[in-house]
Amino acid sequence: MITIYSDKHRLRNSKTELYGGQLVPPFENPSRADIVLERVKSENLGEVISPREFGMEPVLALHDAGFVEFLQVAWEEWTKTGYKGEAMANCWPARRMSQRVPDFIEGKIGYYSLANETSISKGTWEAAEASKDVALTGAELILSGNENGVFSLCRPPGHHAAFDMFGGYCFLNNAAIAAQWFRDNGIDRVAILDIDFHHGNGTQDIFYQRDDVLYLSLHGDPRDAFPHFSGYQEETGQNTGEGTTYNWPLPPGTQFNKWCDCLKESLAKIDQFEAEVIIVSLGVDTFEKDPISFFKLKSEDFLTIGKLISDLKLTTLFVMEGGYDIKELGVNAVNVLQGFEE
Ligand SMILES: [Zn+2]
């Protein structure tokens, strides 16, 4: 299996995350992509290639133009204020408040974010831009004949990034951008299977009112898990998108057998939908030792996941999302890909 990877992920190297009331070194850091790449190489998974640049058109096909412009200038505007730390929101357009974009950067960050753990740092935009190119290059390779599966080793991840909001370590929604690119290049029906521990609120948001992209997610119940305000079972899509969003929120301590039953249900939905291409939002923070999650999957379970996905016999693009147990992250991510290829 071909892997797409860019060194530019290192430009996303923030120093602070707000966690448990403290500023801590971010769980989402460059060592994540390094360890996965190392495993790809040590297991001889296949060729590793660099992305090509796709420009902004595929991004603006589904993200808000004002939001994208904000991401491009946020760090520069923040540093001009003289603030000492990295860029973080402290105020949001919450219930019954004005939904307008303020002029001052602090207000803009509040307007364009859905959470406050993720600070914007120098180089964040450049890394996010390269990450979507990693996803798009994977999509392009699939359409040019690599139908047996491609791995886009994206970092920063993307599935929390919504139409006009960043957060949850995500800035541009790599999987959604790839899905839209497939739609714009002759693929009629795309399924996005999100197996990251967290609900992909951003991907759901982007396709919630559309019936051409099926979104399915297995995740920690939002009553107990980030992003807390998205991912309930009754969220099933709206308007023409009604019935093309599926959520499986699962409780703390969920073991693989229960999780796997839900995966099988989701795969049956993909089959019924008659998807031509699947994009797997590949998060492995479902792992039992993940420091910020609460499922109990073991390393060998990730092989089974890959095998079950391959049983659909559909063209599959794997897009890297979360996974924060650095020690086992490479093994777990590559296990999915190896299970798929077996
Ligand atoms: Zn996650």
pLDDT digit string (tens) for 283-310? Answer: 999 999 999 999 999 999 999 999 999 9
pLDDT the model gives residue 222: 98
Beta carbons of 66 and 108 less than 8 angstroms apart: no
Is residue 148 scored above 90 in pLDDT?
no
pLDDT the model gives residue 147: 82
Judge whether 228 counts as a catalytic residue.
Answer: no
pLDDT the model gives residue 272: 98
pLDDT in tens, 174-202: 999 999 999 999 999 999 999 999 999 99
**Dist. CA 333 → ligand 1 center (Å):** 13
pLDDT in tens, 255-291: 999 999 999 999 999 999 999 999 999 999 999 999 9
- CB atoms under 10 Å from CB of 188, counted, come to 11
State the catalytic residue, choosing from 63, 160, 199, 219: 160
Torsional sign, CA 136, 142, 146, 147: positive
**Dist. CA 331 → ligand 1 center (Å):** 17
pLDDT in tens, 48-90: 999 999 999 999 999 999 999 999 999 999 999 999 999 999 9
Mean pLDDT of 304-317: 97
**Dist. CA 198 → ligand 1 center (Å):** 4
**Dist. CA 281 → ligand 1 center (Å):** 10
Is residue 336 scored above 90 in pLDDT?
yes
**Dist. CA 98 → ligand 1 center (Å):** 30
Q: How far is 89 from 80, CA to CA, in rounded Å?
A: 16
pLDDT the model gives residue 47: 97
**Dist. CA 103 → ligand 1 center (Å):** 32
**Dist. CA 282 → ligand 1 center (Å):** 9
pTM recorded for the entire structure: 0.98
pLDDT the model gives residue 138: 98
pLDDT the model gives residue 8: 98
Q: What domains can be seen in the chain, in order of their start residue?
A: 2-12+27-54+125-341 (3.40.800.20)
**Dist. CA 258 → ligand 1 center (Å):** 19
Q: How far is 162 from 157, CA to CA, in rounded Å?
A: 12
* pLDDT-derived band at 25, boundaries 50, 70, 90: very high
pLDDT the model gives residue 309: 98
Q: How far is 51 from 176, CA to CA, in rounded Å?
A: 17
**Percentage of the residues of the chain whose pLDDT score is greater than 90:** 99
Sequence-ordered list of residues with C-beta below 8 angstroms from that of 215, at least 6 positions apart, any chain: 191, 192, 194, 200, 203, 204, 207, 208, 244, 245, 246
